[in-house]
Amino acid sequence: MSIVTTSGLKKVYTVGDTTINAVNGLDLAIEKGEFLSIMGPSGSGKTTLLHLLGCLDVPTSGTVSIEGKETGDLKPTALASIRREKIGFIFQEFNLLPVLSAVENVELPLRYQKVKPAERRRRALEALAKVGLSERANNKPGQLSGGESQRVAIARALVTEPALVLADEPTGELDTTNTVRIMDLLRELNKQLDLTVAIVTHDPMVAERTRRIISIRDGKIESDKAA
């Protein structure tokens, strides 16, 4: 089953009298259980594409379908509920709230889903265990290393059991050792939980650890191959 498909997807930005075709006619299907990377140089449209796939942004033209359902006609509240229920996001800068402990950060998406406190805590601790950070549950982000912070962010992305995890340069702030650890962890979660993961990166070391590499340039697919 396709988790997400796009057809003729375009995103055009207009700045003054310049037009930027950030995503420029892109057809793509991501199947359940895939572990793939979207590679390309800076400015090639990776982040724009990821935001369109995750319903964080709306296309200028073309379509995005999530689990077979077209999203083009949906109202902002319906798009927000797709994001909340179906998608887990991981960012380069981790985006953890500094005043909350690790477990409270992981609980946040469940709060938005109005899950009750006791169940929220139980599921957040379970997600932290999956990323090997049970012993750091009560630490605040300032007390965690970059690698640990990203593992907390991965737990936060997993805790809602999303259909699709989208990661934007998830190892961009990490050294080589932690990059390899994070990639190994994502691959393990992909295998054990049948988690569908798409990782945007410009780092060949990250891409070569995935199972499929989609290269984009100027908002178009340049190549798409099994790795």
Smallest distance, ligand ADP to C-beta of residue 21, A? 8
Residues whose CB falls within 8 Å of the CB of residue 83, separated by 6 or more in sequence, listed in order = 54, 55, 56
Other Cβ atoms less than 10 A from the Cβ of 119: the count is 11
Which residues of this protein are in contact with ligand ADP, per CB under 6 A?
13, 15, 20, 22, 40, 42-48
**Binding site partner of 45, from ligand ADP, Mg ion, none, Cβ cut-off 5-8 A by kind:** ligand ADP
- Determine the 3-state secondary structure of 172 from DSSP: coil
- For 67, the token pair is 């689990």
Q: Which does 190 bind (CB under 5 to 8 A by kind): ligand ADP, Mg ion, none?
A: none
CB of 143: closest distance to ligand ADP in angstroms?
Answer: 30
Tokens 């689990």 — which residue? 67
Out of Mg ion, ligand ADP, none, what residue 13 binds, judged by CB under 5 to 8 A for its kind, is ligand ADP
| Residue 103 interacting partner from ligand ADP, Mg ion, none (CB closer than 5 to 8 Å by kind) | none
CB 213 within 8 A of CB 39: yes
- Number of helical (H) and strand (E) elements in the chain, helices listed first: 7, 10
Does 47 participate in binding Mg ion (rule CB under 5 A)? yes
Contacting Mg ion within 67-96 (CB under 5 A): none
- Runs of H (alpha helix) within the chain: 46-53, 76-86, 102-112, 117-130, 146-158, 176-193, 204-207
Which range binds Mg ion by CB under 5 A, 3-11, 47-55, 79-87, 117-125? 47-55
Total residues contacting Mg ion by CB under 5 A comes to: 2
22 binds, among Mg ion, ligand ADP, none (CB under 5 to 8 A by kind): ligand ADP
**Number of Cβ atoms within 10 Å of the Cβ of 188:** 14
Min dist. Cβ of residue 202 to Mg ion (A): 8
Which residues bind to Mg ion, rule: CB under 5 A? 46-47
